[in-house]
């Protein structure tokens, strides 16, 4: 099966005038905000847009020829290759980039990044970066479960308002992958009504959901029909908390948690290969995680998040790459920090990790069973022919 890299080969020579913007274009542009365009693309209100081809050339000039560009532990390594193909294509090469923001406060555990793309069809795509390699970014993901609003959501809303003022005549598309999808939906729901009317679509690509009360708000109802939620068949991240029930399920060539990687999503022509529903095990995992979250009082959730990241912070790591680089030392520091927690908090952490491990194992096993079915069917047919 094919993925978005194959799509760039197939459709890269077609402009948006020849083949209109689609869901795969959305995923590509949502991944683009993971590229570090610092000092290449201007921040909001500080300069003219730059052509994607030029931005790509400037980005790659930072590295030696043949040097591997490390995107971190969880950010797909294919993103630099994706950028190269975009720059070489008629479809994306002449798009223009502006309003790049990359903000990190390690002390407060806050992370936010976004990029605006002028797509050339009279519209903008505001791409919100999802969870990156930083522990600060991951902390905010967990805080979504215990806080009505996290700092990144406030920044996303502010960002939409700034971009809307800078480009007063443009229609807007908002989108992101993982946490970026959550930020796109949040900003689309809470931006001023005049800005909301300019929004053509909001894309959440396997982004976590929200607390139930947000879905009942009139601001959400006004834009609900323009929100497109896409999740892989064994989604865990995109099924967290409450979400729009009318979501699209896409096929993936990976198993378990690895399906969160958008580069594993299967593409056919100008759309994703879709399924009727998420897998049975993904549904069970969703129910189990929701039950665990809902049973825990809000104060206890906040205490849990503090405990989890105090354990990770005891290693001195700032990113997941830091943890991976010196894993032996990190494991020792985390074990010591875990031992210092009170029993209730420690048991809660262990239960959560157990749910995640069990969920992933179940989905991997289910995926293996699905892969075996065609082989078993062919084997059965062969046996019938022989008999």
Cα end-to-end span (Å), the chain: 34
Selected from 3.40.30, 3.40.50, 3.40.1580, 1.10.3470, the CATH number assigned to the domain covering 4-278 reads 3.40.50
pLDDT (0 to 100) of residue 232:
83
For the chain, what is the total number of helices (H) and then of strands (E)? 15, 11
Q: Are strands 123-128 and 267-268 parallel, antiparallel or unpaired?
A: unpaired
In this prediction, residue 208 carries a pLDDT of 80
- pLDDT for the residue numbered 382: 47
Contact residues for 242 (Cβ-Cβ < 8 A; gap 6+):
209, 210, 211, 212, 214, 215
The ranges of the chain with pLDDT < 50 are: 238-239, 278-284, 359-383
Please tell me whether the overall predicted TM-score, pTM, comes out greater than 0.85 for this model: no
The pLDDT assigned to 259 comes to 74
pLDDT of res. 212: 62
Retrieve residue 116's tokens: 């605006």
Helices marked H in the chain: 4-11, 23-32, 52-60, 79-88, 135-143, 151-166, 179-190, 193-196, 212-215, 218-223, 280-295, 298-313, 320-325, 327-339, 343-386
Q: Are strands 227-232 and 248-250 parallel, antiparallel or unpaired?
A: parallel
Written as six digits, the tokens of 95 are: 């798009």
**For the chain, what are the domain ranges?**
4-278, 285-386
């Amino acid at each position: 099966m094919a993925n978005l890299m194959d799509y760039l080969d197939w459709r890269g020579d077609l402009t948006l005038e020849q083949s209109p913007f689609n869901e795969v274009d959305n995923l590509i542009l949502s991944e683009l905000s993971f590229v570090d365009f610092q000092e290449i693309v201007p921040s909001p209100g500080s300069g003219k847009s730059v052509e994607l081809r030029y931005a790509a050339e400037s980005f790659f000039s930072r590295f030696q020829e043949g040097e591997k560009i490390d995107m971190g532990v969880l950010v797909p390594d294919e993103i630099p290759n994706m950028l190269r193909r975009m720059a070489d294509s008629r479809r994306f090469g002449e798009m223009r980039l502006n309003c790049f923001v990359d903000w990190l406060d390690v002390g407060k555990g806050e992370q936010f990044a976004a990029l605006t793309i002028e797509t050339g069809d009279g519209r903008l795509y505001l791409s919100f970066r999802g969870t990156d390699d930083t522990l600060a970014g991951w902390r905010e993901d967990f805080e979504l479960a215990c806080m009505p609003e996290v700092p990144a959501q406030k920044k996303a809303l502010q960002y939409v308002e700034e971009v809307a003022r800078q480009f007063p005549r443009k229609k807007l598309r908002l989108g992101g992958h993982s946490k970026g999808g959550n930020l796109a939906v949040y900003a689309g729901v809470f931006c001023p009504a005049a800005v909301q009317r300019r929004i053509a679509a909001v894309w959440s690509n396997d982004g976590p959901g929200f607390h139930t009360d947000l879905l009942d708000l009139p601001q959400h109802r006004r834009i609900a029909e323009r929100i497109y939620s896409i999740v892989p068949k064994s989604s865990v991240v995109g099924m967290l908390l409450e979400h729009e029930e009318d979501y699209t399920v896409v096929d993936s060539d990976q198993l378990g948690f690895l399906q969160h990687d958008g580069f594993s999503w299967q593409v056919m022509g100008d759309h994703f290969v879709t399924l009727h529903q998420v897998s049975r095990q993904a549904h069970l995992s969703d129910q189990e995680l929701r039950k665990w979250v809902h049973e825990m009082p809000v104060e206890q959730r906040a205490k849990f998040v503090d405990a989890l990241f105090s354990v990770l912070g005891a290693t001195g790591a700032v990113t997941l790459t830091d943890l991976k680089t010196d894993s032996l030392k990190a494991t020792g520091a985390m074990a010591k920090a875990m031992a210092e927690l009170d029993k209730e908090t420690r048991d809660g952490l262990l239960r959560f990790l157990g749910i995640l491990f069990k969920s992933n194992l179940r989905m991997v096993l289910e995926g293996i069973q699905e892969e075996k079915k065609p082989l078993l069917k062919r084997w059965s047919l062969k046996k019938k022919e022989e008999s």
